[in-house]
Structure 1
């Protein structure tokens, strides 16, 4: 398995994986398949154009095929630039439990540590996915909050657990 930072040249593979994630686990993401399926290739490429120190996406590849993704975004304001967020974590079902998720998380955390000025990373995870909550806890994240009705899909609400990790 190869894990590496994604760039604009990975836009088609990233888009396919992201759209699959939104279809298979629609309650796990803030965006929807309907919102993202009409993005142009240029929009996907722009999303993967790295702004050093601000954002990054990583992909896990097995035999040249993308099998998982993870993203990082730094908070923008002066008073919150020391924090960032893990977003868009997804591993294709057949690869779950194989270490792909941990590899992706380690790649993102190594990138964040390498920035040198981010000392807190946050994420949100739907409470209907206890395996994801356990995974993040195993990786060192701690719960700091709970948001009732964080997401709404149709007439159904989903609560989120908010987690953080201090970067030493």
Structure 2
């Protein structure tokens, strides 16, 4: 297994993986497949070339198996914060430690980033494996965003979590 920060040259692999995640697990993301399938490859290259965003990928024999993105706030009054977004592990590789390794890399990067004091994330309230992972890494729930997402005719609550670093 190889983990690395994705670069613009990884944009096509990242785009395909992310679209698959959005299509197969729409409840796990605030973004939608319908929106992102229209994004150009260049827009994914720009995402991976942003100075305030780091997307970590885990590869197995050259195949992308998991991703997570750390976004550093760049506004003056928010520079002490970062957020975790876009966490996804290939279903066949879940419970193999990939998600934990990716999260540890993102947390490490946040700690190395000047001024970051806390990391935020949100997780769908009924996603117990993800909630347990985040809790095991020290994230604590500070609230619930009720009916945060609407997927079809179904509403989903987001559990809001944070970690002081």
Q: Same fold (TM over 0.5)?
A: yes
Report how many aligned residue pairs link the two structures. Answer: 165
Report the CA distance between 1:77 and its aligned residue.
2.4
Task: Give the aligned partner of residue 134 of structure 2.
Answer: 136
Alpha-carbon separation, structure 1, partners of 2:156 and 2:81: 25
Give how far 1:138 is off: 0.8
Q: Structure 1 residue runs of 4+, over 3 Å off?
A: none
Matches within 5 A, 1:126-165: 126-165=124-163
Displacement of 1:154 in angstroms is: 2.0
Report what 2:24 is aligned to. 24
TM-score normalised to structure 1 length: 0.95
For the 8 Å contact 1:7–1:50, the answer to whether it is kept is no
C-alpha offsets along residues 3-26 of structure 1, whole Å, 9 cap, x if unaligned? 100010000111111111111110
> Counterpart in 1 of 2:45?
45
Give the whole-Å Cα distance in 1 for the aligned partners of 2:41 and 2:156. 31
Secondary structure of residue in 1 paired with 2:38 = coil
Q: C-alpha distance in 2, partners of 1:77/1:149? A: 28
Distance 2:24 2:78 in 1: 33
1:66 is aligned to 64
Q: Tell me if structure 2 keeps the 8 A contact 1:122–1:164.
A: yes
Gaps of 5+ in 1: none
Instruction: Give, in whole Å, the separation in 2 of the partners of 1:23 and 1:138.
Output: 28
CA–CA distance in structure 2, aligned partners of residues 50 and 33 of structure 1: 22
* Displacement of 1:136: 0.6
- Deviation, structure 1 residue 150: 0.6
- Distance in 2 (CA, whole Å) between partners of 1:101 and 1:81 is 26
- Rounded to whole Å, the distance in 2 between the matches of 1:8 and 1:77 is 24
Distance in structure 2 (CA, Å) of the matches to 1:89 and 1:152: 19
Alignment of 1:97-112 (within 5 A): 97-112=95-110
